[in-house]
Structure 1
Amino acid sequence: MSGAKGVTAGIIYPDHAAEDEYPWAADLLGVHLPVTHVYGTDLHAVPELLDLGRPDRLAAGAAALAEHDPQSVMWACTSGSFVYGPEGARQQIDQLASAAGVPASSTSAAFVDALSHLGLTRVAVAASYPEDVARLFVEYLAAAGIEVVGMSSAGIDTAAEVGALTPEEVIDLAVTHDRPEAQTLLVPDTAMRTLGVIPDLEARLGKPVLTANQVTIWQALRLAGSRPTSSVLGTLFAQRQDHARQ
């Protein structure tokens, strides 16, 4: 593992579920990932998710992180970003960057950028969300030129329920919903604890696995000007190349 001492990337996390993955990864990578929380309902439903990602909520999160002097800020929520659609999600990022005064992004955008970094365009999605919400993620990916060859919906209504999944249940959800023709499997929910099972998943599936907290941390550090590597955070953190593979 190679670290990046002195790098600070701020994390705006919705409510409480799997936020402990951020200090764990920070210790592993030798960086600072301070987490602040914004609160709404943790229901995976479109009106509630639109409310959760409101500009004033994220601006308040950025203000709370200012004491840490972050070099980047991330909205660590997949559904609370892609639910706005491609243009709305881009506007959400721009507004957050303006409020924070540093480069910003969201988990949804991080998935797209991580796929580009690895040169992957054909994916399967193992979603915890209800189907209507999961389909909005598929539409978001498709707008970025990503082919979704399979999408599953576990139909879990709240982030708290997702956060209570055991490692074995996370692995089962992921492995069950992979597709052989997919170049990678996406697991899009920051409420799900996935960092500790990525090596196992990649070994079982024989392909890269991208999860919400993983890509959020990668994007946060990339925007802060750092690309630490790790042997335990999957293919995404094992490669330092600056350009996508052909």
Structure 2
Amino acid sequence: MRAFAEPPLVDEAAELLAAAPVAAIAYAFTSSAYVIGARGEAYMLDRLRERAHGLPVVATCAATVEALHVLGIARIGLVDPPWFDATLNDLGRGCYEEAGFEVPYAAPCDLPSGQVLIRPDALHDRVAAQVPDEAEAVVIGGNGFRAVGVIGALEATLGRPVLTANQVLLWAALRAAGSATGDIDGYGRLFAHP
């Protein structure tokens, strides 16, 4: 996973994308951020922005941290995909703790392992049952984790923000590109926040 965040391939890809008519680049790889940590991800983003000739580059965990700050969250419940093992989940906890958050709950989701096996109703029920009340928000990690479809229902059930890897990455990419995020429905409280 570390290799996906290190030169030369990702750097070359950023440079190639910067030549395309895009307003921002989104790096969608949660587990590599867990492995390299918050500081490592920040370093990678700086490096990629340089290779992209100043074009904004955003990444999942950095975007999640930014979103949590915007929402005023200090304590999170971290739910990772079932295919993340305990070691990778612990690295995820450490990544968010390094960024200044308390993580009273962190675990891989107890569902069948496999992207196509994740059903929104099952994910909703597991997260609602597992994340303790002391978590001010739920963070669902993993860009391959099909979780966007449960944001609204989980927020209604839990009464607190739910952030998923792809949701925060889209939010950060739109902000980096200078686009408004407030007119987007179905992606949770984050998109309704000014």
Q: TM-score, normalised by structure 1?
A: 0.71
Amino-acid identity (%): 32
> Which SS does the other structure have where 1:83 is aligned?
helix
For residues 157 and 67 of structure 1, the distance between their equivalents in structure 2, rounded to whole angstroms, comes to 40
Letter matched to residue 148 of structure 1: V
The 3 A distance-change label for structure 1 pair 191 and 200 is same
> Which SS does the other structure have where 1:150 is aligned?
strand
Unpaired runs of 5+ in structure 1? Answer: 1-48, 241-246
Matching of residue 59 in structure 1 with residue 14 in structure 2: no
After superposing the two structures, state which structure 1 stretch, 66-75 or 76-85, moved more. Answer: 66-75
Letter matched to residue 22 of structure 2: P
Cα offset for 1:226?
A: 2.0
The 3 A distance-change label for structure 1 pair 163 and 189 is farther
For residues 222 and 54 of structure 1, the distance between their equivalents in structure 2, rounded to whole angstroms, comes to 25
**Structure 1 partner of 2:43:** 91
> Which SS does the other structure have where 1:55 is aligned?
coil
**Structure 2 partner of 1:124:** 77
After superposing the two structures, state which structure 1 stretch, 49-58 or 191-200, moved more. Answer: 49-58
**Structure 2 partner of 1:76:** 28
Q: TM-score, normalised by structure 2?
A: 0.89
> Which SS does the other structure have where 2:78 is aligned?
strand
Cα offset for 1:157?
A: 10
**Structure 1 partner of 2:189:** 235
Conserved 8 A contact 2:77-2:103: yes
Q: CA RMSD in A?
A: 2.0
5 Å-filtered alignment, 1:167-186, equals: 167-186=120-139
Conserved 8 A contact 2:67-2:168: yes
Conserved 8 A contact 1:231-1:237: yes
After superposing the two structures, state which structure 1 stretch, 72-81 or 203-212, moved more. Answer: 72-81
What are the Cα deviations for residues 122-146 of structure 1, in whole angstroms up to 9, with x where unaligned? 1111112111001111111111110
Count of matched residue positions in the alignment of Structure 1 and Structure 2: 190
